[in-house]
């Protein structure tokens, strides 16, 4: 059996072997039945047909590795689409996984100029309490059926600046990972509801 290498999808991966039954396309990285990509019974086959078989084999057996997040190196890069709802995902950030994109967005919101309190892109107040991130979304209008954070329980957040926010639509965004805590330090505490006047 004579082996002829061919410049195809990956010249290092494939070889053509000529035998009595035709031309065999062989993947040199696979073993067993997966090694035989195809058998061409006619030696006058088009080069594009050989490449198509190799490309199909590549798709089925040699998936390219997903690029990893450049910050955490533990999750694949996330390309969106952005998810909106009461719970939303951040827009994709090139090279970052969805988790790191979320925390980068939180850091950017914190350092946005001209704000007295940390706020999300939609203007909702942000609180960082005991290493967790919270957002106080606006209460839905009366008579509206809508999801509320913490089942609609009323919370008061007292910021270290002296300001306070009270609302019944508080969303817990999770524990701030250790790598982000220096940029997202605590800025508030939970306070009791104000006494009725």
pLDDT band at 85 (very low <50, low <70, confident <90, very high): low
Decide: 152 and 168 in contact? Cβ < 8 Å: yes
Kindly provide the b/e burial profile for residues 20-42, where b requires at least 16 CB atoms within 10 angstroms of the residue's own CB: eeebbbbbeeeeeeeeebbebee
pLDDT tens, position by position, 18-28: 777 777 888 88
- Domain locations in the chain as residue ranges: 2-61, 117-191
Of 31-35, 69-73, 151-155, minimum mean pLDDT range: 31-35
Mean pLDDT of 132-160: 86
As given in the structure block, the two tokens for residue 134 are: 């919270």
User: 3-state DSSP call for residue 99?
Assistant: helix
């Amino acid at each position: 059996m004579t082996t002829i290498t061919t410049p195809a999808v990956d010249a290092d991966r494939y070889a053509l072997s000529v035998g009595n039954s035709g031309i065999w396309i062989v993947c040199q990285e696979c073993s067993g039945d997966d090694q035989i990509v195809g058998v061409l019974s006619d030696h006058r086959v088009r080069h594009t047909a050989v490449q198509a078989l190799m490309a199909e084999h590549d798709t089925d057996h040699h998936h390219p590795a997903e690029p990893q997040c450049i910050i955490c190196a533990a999750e694949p890069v996330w390309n969106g689409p952005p998810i909106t709802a009461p719970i939303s995902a951040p827009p994709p950030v090139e090279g970052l996984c969805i988790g790191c994109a979320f925390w980068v967005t939180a850091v950017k919101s914190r350092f946005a100029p001209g704000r007295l309190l940390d706020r999300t892109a939609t203007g909702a107040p942000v609180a960082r309490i005991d290493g967790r991130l919270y957002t106080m979304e606006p209460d839905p209008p009366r008579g509206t059926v809508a999801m509320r954070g913490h089942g609609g329980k009323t919370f008061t957040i007292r910021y270290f600046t002296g300001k306070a926010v009270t609302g019944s639509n508080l969303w817990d965004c999770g524990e701030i990972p250790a790598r982000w805590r220096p940029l997202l330090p605590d800025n508030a505490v939970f306070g009791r509801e104000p006494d009725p006047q």
